[in-house]
Amino acid sequence: MIESPLKEKNVSTKQDPNFPVFNAMESRNHEQVVICSDPETGLRAIIAIHNTTLGPALGGTRMWMYQTEEAALKDVLRLSRGMTYKAAISGLNLGGGKAVIIGDPHTDKNEALFRAFGRFVDGLGGRYITAEDVGMEVQDMEWIYSETKYVTGIPETLGGSGNPSPVTAYGVYMGVKACAKKAYGNDSLAGKRIALQGAGHVASYFAKHAAKEGAKLFITDIYSEKANSLANEIGAEVVSPDEIYGLDVDIFTPCALGGVINDDTMDQFKCDIIAGGANNVLDIEDRHGQMLLDKGIIYAPDYVINAGGIINISSELEGYNREQAMNRTQKIYDTTLNILKYSEDHEIPSHKASNILAEERIASVARLKSKYSSKSHFSGRLGEMYMTDRR
Ligand SMILES: NC(=O)c1ccc[n+]([C@@H]2O[C@H](COP(=O)([O-])OP(=O)(O)OC[C@H]3O[C@@H](n4cnc5c(N)ncnc54)[C@H](O)[C@@H]3O)[C@@H](O)[C@H]2O)c1
């Protein structure tokens, strides 16, 4: 077995409470953290590059009102690491990165701020490629794009891939079907009862696939008008947000926020399968992943089955092709089945199985790169080779 370069370490350096960056980076193997400041525009941003073994670090920029700088740092480190695993398990030649801009997305936005941020991204020469995340809108991405070509998820009118949600939802649908295959021996969703949490972008597209196949859906959203409108469109039943966990259903599909599989909800689940689009659904990954295994609930790791979005934007780097993105997303079905098999064979929770398989891919490619090839001087990590010239 190849030793994973991502294995978490106990860091020996003395913790400096006033400067927690190196310890935080080293404990999770982050390569680089870039602190970006531009007082003129009010820009305070952090770019974190977790691992670039497989390729340039790709991950969105999040704008959020972090209460402390440390909270922003923690978030960007956690999110960028997650992107490494998501890209690796999805078979993409991309590393993991993420950026956060500290500020109120409702009041602190201006053109100069995003252009300043774009210049910092550009300065990394393609080691980090950004995209849209929470708190960001198309206009913001266009401003960043005016300063750097290392941006994905830009509008179709600018040669980008546009809204990733339909592709994400298709991947979730593939992941749910793979879980059905594992649980019931065939992957049909006809007649299956599905509790869908959220009636937003991903949930809506997912619901249409499932309803078309004959599933019976129960939908909730904190905005009841959204749940009603989706339910009317596809012929589903609306339930209250609190009711969704304890419904007598076959499948629970979380497509709202993270942390919903926790100590309070765990005992309520009566389903055979949990598989959805929301990120970080396990409140405490190891604890709640193990509890699902003990309860005999099949869990599709979130970052595996919601990878359609990153698969879609990664296709932009080679010249966007929707059909190719959908075909790659379809493979989430096989990836999910592989992970569930590994989990069963090794008697470990599926999120752990997925992490191990992602780490093995990275380790094997890292070893490959130790061999000299004619391309070795041309690092292969710079992103430059992935980018079609857009100007
Ligand atoms: N959009 C993508 O391509 C994509 C890609 C990967 C992961 N995800 C993840 O999927 C999830 C959904 O993304 P989206 O783009 O559809 O977002 P969205 O904002 O369009 O939809 C989320 C919906 O969840 C509802 N909601 C929030 N809290 C709720 C609660 N407690 N109970 C019921 N409903 C609640 C919101 O009102 C909203 O309608 C997020 O976790 C996101 O991080 C999205």
Instruction: State whether 64 and 208 are in the same domain.
Output: no
Instruction: State whether 240 and 341 are in the same domain.
Output: yes
CATH number of the domain encompassing residue 216: 3.40.50.720
Instruction: State whether 207 and 317 are in the same domain.
Output: yes
Which atom from ligand 1 is nearest to the alpha carbon of 276? 10
CATH number of the domain encompassing residue 50: 3.40.50.10860
C-beta 226 within 6 A of ligand 1: yes
Tell me, yes or no, whether 365 lies in a domain.
Answer: no
Instruction: State whether 284 and 137 are in the same domain.
Output: no
C-beta 273 within 6 A of ligand 1: no
Nearest CA to ligand 1 atom 18: 200
How much is the pLDDT for 390?
55
Is residue 98 flagged as an active site residue? yes
Name the CA dihedral angle for 303, 304, 306, 312, rounded to a multiple of 10 degrees: 110
Tell me, yes or no, whether 390 lies in a domain.
Answer: no
Tell me, yes or no, whether 372 lies in a domain.
Answer: no
How much is the pLDDT for 380?
52
Which atom from ligand 1 is nearest to the alpha carbon of 134? 43
C-beta 171 within 6 A of ligand 1: no
Range of the domain at 302: 165-360
pLDDT in tens, 20-63: 789 889 988 999 999 999 999 999 999 999 999 999 999 999 99
Instruction: Provide the domain count of the chain.
Output: 2
C-beta 42 within 6 A of ligand 1: no
- Going from the Cα of 51 to the center of ligand 1, the distance in angstroms, rounded, reads 27
Which atom from ligand 1 is nearest to the alpha carbon of 226? 39
Q: How far apart are CA 9 and CA 22, in angstroms?
A: 13
- Going from the Cα of 198 to the center of ligand 1, the distance in angstroms, rounded, reads 6
Instruction: State whether 202 and 266 are in the same domain.
Output: yes
Mean pLDDT, the chain, rounded, equals 92
Tell me, yes or no, whether 134 lies in a domain.
Answer: yes
How much is the pLDDT for 377?
46
C-beta 254 within 6 A of ligand 1: no
Nearest CA to ligand 1 atom 15: 201
- Going from the Cα of 180 to the center of ligand 1, the distance in angstroms, rounded, reads 23
Inter-CA distances, 37 with 45, 77, 101, 126, 264, Å: 7, 18, 10, 20, 41
Instruction: State whether 249 and 139 are in the same domain.
Output: no
Instruction: State whether 292 and 329 are in the same domain.
Output: yes
Query: Which residues of the chain are under the pLDDT cut of 70?
Result: 1-3, 5, 8-19, 374-391
Instruction: State whether 102 and 199 are in the same domain.
Output: no
Which atom from ligand 1 is nearest to the alpha carbon of 277? 10
CA 272 to chain centre: 24
Query: Is the pTM for the entire model greater than 0.85?
Result: yes
Question: Residues near 277 by Cβ (< 8 Å), separated by ≥ 6?
Answer: 168, 169, 172, 202, 203, 206, 253, 254, 255, 302, 305, 306
Inter-CA distances, 332 with 228, 298, 389, Å: 30, 16, 30
Q: How far apart are CA 314 and CA 308, in angstroms?
A: 10
Which atom from ligand 1 is nearest to the alpha carbon of 164? 3
Tell me, yes or no, whether 59 lies in a domain.
Answer: yes
Mutation to probe ligand 1, out of 168, 202, 264, 313 (largest number of atoms < 8 A from CB): 202
Instruction: State whether 134 and 196 are in the same domain.
Output: no
CB 198 within 8 A of CB 255: yes
Instruction: State whether 252 and 287 are in the same domain.
Output: yes
Mutation to probe ligand 1, out of 257, 310, 329 (largest number of atoms < 8 A from CB): 257
CB 351 within 8 A of CB 274: no
Tell me, yes or no, whether 373 lies in a domain.
Answer: no
C-beta 201 within 6 A of ligand 1: yes
How much is the pLDDT for 378?
46
C-beta 199 within 6 A of ligand 1: yes
Instruction: State whether 104 and 36 are in the same domain.
Output: yes
Q: Which of 98, 109, 177, 192 is catalytic?
A: 98
Tell me, yes or no, whether 387 lies in a domain.
Answer: no
C-beta 162 within 6 A of ligand 1: no
Tell me, yes or no, whether 281 lies in a domain.
Answer: yes
Quote helix, strand, coil % in the chain, to nearest 5. Answer: 45, 15, 40
Instruction: State whether 348 and 284 are in the same domain.
Output: yes
| Burial environment of residue 290 by CB neighbours within 10 A (0 to 12, 13 to 18, 19 or more) | middle
Amino acid at the residue 247: L
